[in-house]
Structure 1
């Protein structure tokens, strides 16, 4: 029979795993979105930015997967159905857009802002182990920096 302390520990573990899995799934979605946008972008600066973001999100996925493995949990292996649907919508939207690069850039800004909010929500859910908090905080900072870099791209595109 589990004690209250053991139950609380298991609940904390389960909540941590759920938060990491959620971030991992969204990270897969973001990586796939950047790779899809890279195929459609025309501006060389935008292409470089998209490639860098895809690589960054792949690194994030590895970090989150490793954290889950250290918790003796199996990481998710792909993104969400919602992410697939969103990419389909973006393909339709871009097909009718006169300025594909501008449309891609706008979506990058929206996506990075949403990503920062998601990281903030995860950080506010509960106190995590320091190593988990460090991973989440570090990734959030890198997304915020990415958002700053987009502002420079807006001038170039």
Structure 2
């Protein structure tokens, strides 16, 4: 299957959003007291960092250039600014609710690309793996929010 400029643009968009999510999780970790929640946010930040590097490698494998992953791009910036503003209260429940919203948004983005884009098999497999990991994370953060 031919790797298109459209696929590259969509992967670069995901790359930016994953780096924004990584920054959001790092910020969240510093705003909670629970060591369990801190550990979860630390793991999520690392996971999104890893996703970013996998996306960059996939983009390069097809001869395209990955974006720098700045956090000032459109929707990603607005999404994580809302996430960051929730931290002003230092309320663990509010922070977890924003994490849930962010994970749901990420799932929608991954599902959209997986279902609507003609992808090379390696790309589809990578994105499906990311999506499944995010789905698992959503379940975990939802359970933590119910406890909080």
* SS of structure 1 residue aligned to 2:4: helix
Give the alignment's TM-score, normalised by structure 2: 0.88
Match of 1:23 among 4, 9, 14: 14
RMSD of equivalent CA atoms: 1.8
* SS of structure 2 residue aligned to 1:40: coil
Q: Does 1:114 align with 2:105?
A: yes
Q: 1:143/1:90 Cα in 2 relative to 1: closer, same or farther (>3 Å)?
A: closer
Match of 1:67 among 52, 58, 64: 58
CA distance in 2 between partners of 1:45 and 1:89 (Å): 23
> Deviations for 1:70-112, whole angstroms, at most 9, x for unmatched residues?
01111112233244454444444432x3x61111100010000
Give the alignment's TM-score, normalised by structure 1: 0.84
Cα contact 2:86–2:95 (8 A) shared by 1:
no
Q: Does 1:42 align with 2:33?
A: yes
CA distance in 2 between partners of 1:120 and 1:87 (Å): 20
Residue range with higher mean Cα deviation, 70-79 or 27-36 = 70-79
CA distance in 2 between partners of 1:67 and 1:147 (Å): 25
The CA deviation at 1:42 is 1.2
Find the counterpart in structure 1 of residue 118 from structure 2: 127
Structure 2: segments with no counterpart, 5+ residues:
none
Cα contact 1:45–1:156 (8 A) shared by 2:
no
> Deviations for 1:94-143, whole angstroms, at most 9, x for unmatched residues?
32x3x611111000100001100000111122221100100111100000
CA distance in 2 between partners of 1:156 and 1:132 (Å): 36
Q: Does 1:149 align with 2:145?
A: no
* Alignment size in residue pairs: 145
The CA deviation at 1:156 is 3.9
Q: 1:41/1:137 Cα in 2 relative to 1: closer, same or farther (>3 Å)?
A: same
Cα contact 1:109–1:147 (8 A) shared by 2:
yes
Bigger radius of gyration, 1 or 2? 1
